Amino acid sequence: MVEEAAGGRVDVGILFGGSILAGGDLFARAIADDLATHFMIVGGQGHSTDVLRAAMRHRMGWDDVADHTEAALFDRYLAERYGVRADLLEYESTNCGSNVRNALELLEAFDIPWRRILIIQDASMQQRMDAGFRLHAPDARVVNFAAHRTHVELVDGELGFRTPLDGMWPMDRYISLLIGEIPRLTDDANGYGPAGQGFIAHVDVPDDVTRAYTSLQNAGVGAPRTADQRWADTVS
């Protein structure tokens, strides 16, 4: 399916460190299935790094993760759990904007073609990552494969996950991530698109999504994730 969508075997498959653990499991399958010529993990430290470290402590029993980057954690996870490694690791990026720029710069530095790219990111941030590639690599053919599809439903009268994946975000954080993407993706003066800060390519946000977001904000339900200025060299 990936090869069909990409028009052939992709040049590079990229896992971004903002994903939950399911992203590592999916990336291991991509490596095992030889879906790309090269495989890269991208991620230094950012707003989700501490959550990933906690997940690695819980699932893998690692007690030495405090100073490890997202790329290093996922590469170690792949090696210990699946016996595979990525070809390239990017350790410096701190947000979605630098994720894309640094990934492309590293590929250029190693003279690796990137005409066809498979990107795996957390479902809550996949749309924005795609928009970043459309801005910085407009001629590339990008195949999006979100790390998970997790459905939210009422569980015992409250929002919950019927079958949560390992390392899944706590519900309040997941909601804040999802809601926080709407103002970021909206192409207006306050968004990240060309009409705003110019960090990503234009994204069409459906009217019903905008109306739902406005209704939630007016009702005081669900707070969008705010940018953490520690990691916001350009965008977070």
Read off the pLDDT of residues 203-213 as tens digits, 9 standing for 90 and up.
999 999 999 99
pLDDT in tens, 135-144: 999 999 999 9
The model's pTM is: 0.90
Fold matches, 2-144 and 170-219: no
Q: How far apart are the C-alpha atoms of 233 and 153, rounded to whole Å?
A: 36
Query: At CB < 8 A and 24+ separation, what contacts does 196-204 make?
Result: 197/235, 199/96, 199/97, 199/132, 199/135, 199/234, 199/235, 200/97, 200/128, 200/131, 200/132, 200/134, 200/135, 200/235, 201/131, 201/132, 201/134, 201/135, 201/138, 202/131, 203/127, 203/128, 203/131
Average pLDDT of the residues in 25-44:
95
* pLDDT > 90 in the chain, percent: 65
Domain boundaries 170-219, CATH class: mainly alpha
Question: CATH for 2-144, among 3.40.50.620, 3.40.50.1820, 3.40.50.300, 3.40.30.20?
Answer: 3.40.50.620
- Who has greater pLDDT, 61 or 234? 61
Q: How far apart are the C-alpha atoms of 231 and 108, rounded to whole Å?
A: 24
Domain map (residue ranges) of the chain: 2-144, 170-219
Give the pLDDT confidence score for residue 7 in this predicted structure.
74
- Who has greater pLDDT, 17 or 222? 17
